[in-house]
Amino acid sequence: MKILSNQSSAEQGMTLPVTLLICGILGILMLSYLSIVQSQHLSVTRAQSWNSAIVTAEAGIEEGLAQLNAAGVSTNNLGTNGWTDLGGGTYRKTNSVGGNSYVASILISPAVTNPNPMVVSTG
């Protein structure tokens, strides 16, 4: 007994190429989506690092200003309260906030006559 098909031989051979084409399109879409997700992850990580560094550096600035405004501390003697005198009117202190750290510096050059010190902090 022979089973007769109503489809021509050209129509019967199209299933595999159409399936491969659909799989290829789906693969490209998945790769594009994964690329977008990776870019988003890198952007979020960069933003979180930046925000953390800004807060940490700000803490260093606050500590430097607190040292300048401390009672009994003049610009001639800023090497107190844990600050290190590096010479040449430069004072430095390293501290940590949470899991981050900063290096704060007070620059007064020349130390005796300059009434405008500069506070620099790196988080």
Type of residue numbered 39 = S
How many independent structural domains does the chain possess? 1
Query: What predicted TM-score, i.e. pTM, was given to this entire model?
Result: 0.63
Cα separation, 49 vs 44, whole angstroms: 9
In a domain, residue 108? The reply is: yes
pLDDT above 80 (res 4): no
To the nearest 5 percent, what fractions of the chain are helix, strand and coil?
A: 50, 20, 30
| pLDDT tens, position by position, 26-81 | 999 999 999 999 999 999 999 998 988 898 889 889 988 888 887 566 666 777 78
Cα three-residue angle 107-121-67, rounded to 5 degrees: 60
In a domain, residue 7? The reply is: no
In a domain, residue 2? The reply is: no
